[in-house]
A and B are shown apart, each in its own frame.
Chain A
Amino acid sequence: MFATRVMTLLGRRSIATVLALVALATPLVYEAYMRSVAATFEIRAFSRDLSDPRRLAGFADDVFVGRVEGEGRFYDLDSTVNRTVFPVRVLEVLKGDVPSADILVNQVGGEDQYGNVWRIEGVPMLQPSETYLFATRSSGDDFLGETATPGVGHTLLASDDQRRRLVRRFRDAIQSAIPYDVPNPARSDR
């Protein structure tokens, strides 16, 4: 009854036009709203101290030198800490069995499409075209790849000299690694 009256007053063409406009505007309004409420989420973790390379070498499944080949892709994991996944070319393997090719390395944090930022205080995000020494554990997910140990799992190698020194230091640390008592179940598949 009501609908009939409205259609009579406005005409079907007008209603269709209004509906089309609403349908078109809804995503734009939603995105504008989401951008307006975007915020920065700071993460602080309670973990064991892995700043000692021997402990880090015991914790990590893989230690390698790699170059970030491209921009990161953000994954909103909802029930866990969000990650940004980077394509990385492996240049030198110190520990583990990562393939000497392109792999995926994920890092805790990142920025989503609306401008929300998740970050660990004092931990910079990986930068494309830069070379790092990575200490990672396998995430067990194909789309996440290797997980750079938060805070201490990626060190920027600014020069060849620094790379040589750090590689030597980590080779020694791997030799005298302090075992980590919680195994990674994702690793048993490999």
Chain B
Amino acid sequence: MAHVRAGVGADLICGLGRPRWWAPCQPRAGRPPGARVRDAGRAPRGPTHRDHRRPQAWYAGNAHATVNQRMRRGCGQTMSERIPLRIPVKGSGAVNDGRCDLGWYGSWEKSPPGADDIYLYTCEMHPAGTTRRREVMAHEFGHALGLADGCIEHQGLSYLMMGGPDSVDPFAGFCGCIGPGQHEKNDYYARWGCLEPLCSQPG
């Protein structure tokens, strides 16, 4: 099972290893729903385009990139808004604990004091196909970003988090979605805000 500890925030980035003075690894409180933040990208330094070339800047595969690529279409001038979440991976990033008893691909653990936890279960993930793996990763990142929290009433609109119109399983369903639907995009903008006037045409 791979254990990933995720620091979540519009401009909070936890680097791999020890926090550094120029990129402090400290959780920031989420903005209230509906808040529009004009200077979302100016507050403490987030990653820049140079971070892509740093070996210690690990990104968790294409699922992460796809979520952000799709989300950034209507929002974000700098890389700070385009990459709201980076995952420092502990150890080798994949530890099989030898258990196949849960039937879970992945899980997300909400941690009130700080960074959330994302677990990936190698028992199910190894035999899974690429699309399913991306779907799982995108889904767990969606939890960490606060998308579709408690929005069962929006079922059918929230594809990535609820599994699409045919799903009746509140845990999760599968739709092959590796990117957010419109409702999830709205959740994202409502929670984290973005630069005006680019917010006017999200997605």
Contact = CB atoms under 8 A, between A and B. Distances in A.
B100 A183 contact: yes
Contact of A45 (B107, B168, B173): B107
Contact of B113 (A39, A81, A137, A184): A39
B180 interface: no
Contacts, number: 106
Interface string A149-185: 1110000000000000000000000000000111111
Nearest to A141: B99
B47 to A, nearest CB: 26
The main secondary structure of chain A at its interface with chain B is loop
A39 B111 contact: yes
B140 to A, nearest CB: 7
A8 interface: no
A147 interface: yes
The main secondary structure of chain B at its interface with chain A is loop
A57 B18 CA distance: 47
B136 to A, nearest CB: 5
B107 A81 contact: yes
Contacts of B105: 46-48
Contact of B101 (A39, A122, A184): A184
- Of the four ranges (under 10, 10 to 19, 20 to 34, 35 or more), the interface on chain A belongs to 35 or more
Given A45-B171, A46-B139, A80-B119, A140 B107 contact: no
A114 interface: no
B98 A185 contact: yes
14 contacts: A39-B112, A45-B108, A46-B104, A46-B107, A46-B136, A47-B172, A49-B171, A51-B168, A79-B97, A81-B102, A147-B102, A151-B171, A186-B98, A186-B101
Interface of A: 37, 39-51, 59, 79-81, 108, 118, 122, 136-140, 147, 149-151, 180-186
Given A49-B171, A79-B3, A136-B101, 5 more contacts: A46-B106, A47-B171, A49-B168, A151-B171, A186-B99
